[in-house]
Structure 1
């Protein structure tokens, strides 16, 4: 069944391009550090060296290898993106499905909370929370970002599930004595599996961009290396003005390529699975 569902995607050239680019960076982040075994934090006397045989992407102000930083940074940024996406998807699915099943006062309360979070400038709240934390691990940054991405998804699946609730098989499940949890898990959530996956892809995108944004203003992870931190270091050390392109161009390209590929994947899935957008 899963193969039948995803088979049309691999007939779409845009999807193939998007997934190929994303898998390239995913594998680079996962496997790259094992093949290029250079410590990204190790300093040397090769200060601000341009790309060479010893340092394929050059070094920074402290003599640290840029390629090693890039490979570890891709891994960290993707980790933040995936973790933030999981958090957002879980929160949105719980609130949206509960609102659709319970209706009444519970629906009103949950949608009121959703609307409050939706209308709140989430990036400002994330900045405020991050500024109060002296130590911010990758997980903490992911949680901060994941807590504010879900409202639009919760509203969307609530609307979809409310239409599903009127179908015959749902009434039969209710008559059979299904609990609300079993009804949601077995009858409702499978109907929005495709939309949930598309949303998950967008959540990953938001997590990566959010981490880069927080890092650029000095509120990103205080431990480890990420693509956003690489850009922050190059800005702090005036690498852009001094023309040290090998320092800021690779992480910039990685962020743009990964987020663009995720957008292409999500858009293509919408075109393939949404009849109204499907090309004739």
Structure 2
């Protein structure tokens, strides 16, 4: 189809139907670019399996995790897929039931610690002045306090604390580092042109923080959340393994605690502690892969192989054409040779 002009011999072709929609289509594709990353897919798949087990683990467990039987120290078999303990307890049931506690502590801690770090870090970086001094000093106090010993001391005074209480205690000791990072990034953003334009239009301080600052810190906030979840999971398992937390409440650390106390390694009962260790390693790997995928999504330079999302190679445009200088040819007038 063409558009007729005053010149009968001249016709202007209409743009392609999809040309105007090209940027919109690319924008929609970029929204799901993160989900096309191999590391993100692998990490989210493993994490999704653990989340599913946390929900249905107690329903699909073949036995009561605390029920004793006459099958003492049995290796994995059709009756007990991951073997039994020295009191006849089913190891698979203990792992399935204990998944919920690990996931709850990890994600509740990540949520509370991330909220505190965003409130303190972004407010300190954007407000400046006395507010920055007070909030930075508050962050430094928690930053220099050793987190794990403090959690052990607090938890020792709460012998029957549940998963949520332990998560709150861990979150109160693990938010300071994220707040420092967010403060530094906010300091670099608060003098940008679009922030100054928002101030000039009369927008309130909190509206600028919520709608202008925080959206540009989404990747850092997500990375901080994932790192906090990893720290919380390892802390919860450590507390259970050393016997500080309530050992009657099943999680992967509790399984390792009873295996260590009953010398499972000396008795060659590998099925008692290896599956729990593999679960910890897989969960940590999945969260690390998600964290790496977030970094690659935000910074294309980290994408391996020089490829952007969708398998397209990134082409760097310099904006100028290189000038190639040729060496002048000089002839010797006597010999007629080139010099």
Distance 1:205 1:240 in 2: 26
CA shift at 1:96, angstroms? 0.5
Paired residue for 2:157?
132
Q: What is the RMSD of the two structures over their aligned residues, measured on CA atoms?
A: 2.1
Distance 1:133 1:179 in 2: 43
CA shift at 1:123, angstroms? 1.1
CA shift at 1:259, angstroms? 0.6
Which residue, out of 9, 24, 47, partners 2:72? 47
Q: Do residues 194 (structure 1) and 219 (structure 2) align? A: yes
Which structure has the larger Rg? 2
Q: Any conservation in 2 of the 1:135–1:222 contact (CA below 8 Å)?
A: no
Secondary structure at the aligned position of 2:159 is classed as coil
Misfit runs of 4+, over 4 Å: 1-6
Deviation by residue 1:26-48 (Cα, 9 ceiling, x = unmatched): 22222333233532222223222
Specify whether residues 276 and 151 from structure 1 end up closer, same or farther in structure 2 by C-alpha distance, changes over 3 A only: farther
Matches within 5 A, 1:153-164: 153-164=178-189
Between structures 1 and 2, the one with greater helix share: 1
Which residue, out of 71, 79, 82, partners 1:57? 82
Deviation by residue 1:124-174 (Cα, 9 ceiling, x = unmatched): 111121222222211122112111221221111112122221123323433
Distance 1:6 1:232 in 2: 44
Specify whether residues 74 and 5 from structure 1 end up closer, same or farther in structure 2 by C-alpha distance, changes over 3 A only: farther
CA shift at 1:193, angstroms? 1.3
Deviation by residue 1:220-269 (Cα, 9 ceiling, x = unmatched): 23552111111111111111221111111111100011012211210222
Paired residue for 1:212?
237
Secondary structure at the aligned position of 1:142 is classed as helix
Q: Any conservation in 1 of the 2:61–2:97 contact (CA below 8 Å)?
A: no
Matches within 5 A, 1:1-280: 4-5=29-30, 7-279=32-304, 280=306
Distance 1:91 1:3 in 2: 32
Secondary structure at the aligned position of 2:302 is classed as coil
Specify whether residues 94 and 126 from structure 1 end up closer, same or farther in structure 2 by C-alpha distance, changes over 3 A only: same
Distance 1:173 1:19 in 2: 37
Q: Any conservation in 2 of the 1:19–1:261 contact (CA below 8 Å)?
A: yes
Aligned residues: 280
Distance 1:13 1:169 in 2: 34
Secondary structure at the aligned position of 1:218 is classed as coil
CA shift at 1:204, angstroms? 0.9
Q: Any conservation in 1 of the 2:57–2:99 contact (CA below 8 Å)?
A: no
Q: Any conservation in 2 of the 1:137–1:222 contact (CA below 8 Å)?
A: no
Secondary structure at the aligned position of 2:191 is classed as coil
CA shift at 1:212, angstroms? 1.1
Deviation by residue 1:51-83 (Cα, 9 ceiling, x = unmatched): 222221122223222111111111210111001
CA shift at 1:3, angstroms? 6.3
Paired residue for 2:16?
none
Paired residue for 2:310?
none
Distance 1:28 1:81 in 2: 15
Distance 1:154 1:19 in 2: 26
Distance 2:82 2:99 in 1: 15
Specify whether residues 50 and 9 from structure 1 end up closer, same or farther in structure 2 by C-alpha distance, changes over 3 A only: same
Paired residue for 2:321?
none
